[in-house]
């Protein structure tokens, strides 16, 4: 769930601290740090001039996302948003990409923050910063409910949790609010049984939302 700042307000780390305080007020127990990274890949054309739109390259997707999740350091997920593809691969995959020189990683974004255990729920609240600078690009959080694996069956519980969370955060009167962005899993060919591919897709959607929020 990305944080949507109110128009005109600036994003600052105070909001992050307040959000963490909310998690603790609900009884959350701080469980450590987490970090998930997203890499943006751009296609390399044969003569090395990146971004040239020759006829032969018109059908190449302009963008490839690579996602390294906190939970599964041994895996690497690749998402082609335009073609609605998600691939789960070994963590050595980026090296393959390097060697192939077909797509190069341009920008890397890190989502990092603290993890809280709230009974059967796990909350990850974090900030979004680019790899090479400290500029805060956005704030987001991830909620996981351990007992259930089916997306359909857990919908009611997650919605209820989101309502409770909104109530708690609203009490702090912060400039902005969290929004819940639904990812369209069926477009990516994913089933109802939740998996890490689903998480990767959710991060991609969340990122998109963050970008539009910051720009707009």
Partner 1 sequence: MMQLQPQAQAAALAVAPSASAVAPPTANPNDPASGDAPPKQVAQAMERLGRAGRLIADIRLGADRLLEALFVAGSAPAYSTPQHIERTERVVIQEEAAMRRHFQDLRALGRQLEESGVLNGALKARGNSWGLHMPLVCPDGAVVAYAWKRQLAGQAGASAVDRTRLALKAFTDQKRRFFPHLEDEVLSHLHDGEPGSTKKPRLSTSNGELEEESLSEILKNLETEVPNMKIFTYRHLDWSKRASSLASLMDDDFVDPSKELNLQNMGKSRSSAVTTSIDQVAVIELLVPSIFRAIVSLHPAGSTDPDAVAFFSPTEGGSYLHARGVSMHHVFKHVKEHADKALQYFISVEPRNALSLLLRWIASYQTLFTKVCSKCRRLLMMDKSLALLLPPVHRPYHQTSNVSPDLQEAYHIGCSSYDG
> Site for partner 1 (CB under 8 A): which residue of 17, 33, 52, 120?
120
Binding residues for partner 1 restricted to 51-80, rule: CB under 8 A: 72, 74-75
21 binds partner 1 (CB under 8 A): no
Burial zone of 123 (CB within 10 Å; 0-12 exposed, 13-18 middle, 19+ buried):
buried
Binding residues for partner 1 restricted to 154-213, rule: CB under 8 A: 154, 156-157, 160-161, 164, 191-193, 195-196
Site of tokens 């998996």 = 195
Structure tokens at 41: 């890949």
149 binds partner 1 (CB under 8 A): yes
Q: Whole-angstrom distance between the N-terminal and C-terminal Cα of the chain?
A: 17
CA–chain centroid gap for 7, Å, is 22
Secondary structure (3-state) at 187: helix
> Site for partner 1 (CB under 8 A): which residue of 153, 171, 172, 177?
153
Q: What are phi and psi of 39, to 5 degrees?
A: -115, 135
Which of 76-84, 104-112, 118-126, 169-177 is the region at the interface with partner 1 (rule: CB under 8 A)? 118-126
List of residues contacting partner 1 (CB under 8 A): 26-27, 72, 74-75, 88, 118-121, 146-150, 152-154, 156-157, 160-161, 164, 191-193, 195-196
């Amino acid at each position: 769930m990305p944080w949507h700042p109110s128009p005109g307000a600036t994003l600052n780390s105070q909001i992050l601290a307040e959000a963490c305080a909310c998690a603790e007020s609900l009884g959350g127990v701080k469980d450590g740090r987490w970090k998930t990274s997203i890499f943006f890949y751009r296609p390399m054309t044969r003569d090395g001039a990146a971004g040239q739109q020759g006829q032969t390259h018109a059908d190449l997707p302009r963008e490839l996302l690579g996602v390294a999740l906190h939970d599964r350091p041994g895996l690497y997920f690749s998402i082609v948003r335009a073609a609605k593809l998600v691939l789960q691969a070994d963590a050595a995959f980026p090296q393959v990409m390097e060697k192939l020189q077909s797509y190069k990683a341009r920008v890397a974004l890190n989502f990092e923050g603290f993890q809280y255990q709230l009974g059967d729920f796990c909350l990850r609240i974090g900030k979004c910063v680019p790899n090479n600078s400290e500029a805060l690009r956005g704030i987001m959080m991830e909620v996981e409910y351990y007992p259930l694996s089916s997306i359909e069956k857990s919908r009611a519980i997650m919605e209820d949790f989101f309502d409770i969370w909104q109530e708690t955060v609203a009490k702090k009167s912060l400039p902005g609010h969290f929004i819940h962005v639904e990812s369209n899993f069926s477009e990516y060919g994913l089933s109802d049984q939740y998996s890490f591919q689903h998480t990767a897709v959710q991060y991609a959607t969340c990122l998109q939302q963050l970008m539009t929020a910051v720009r707009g």
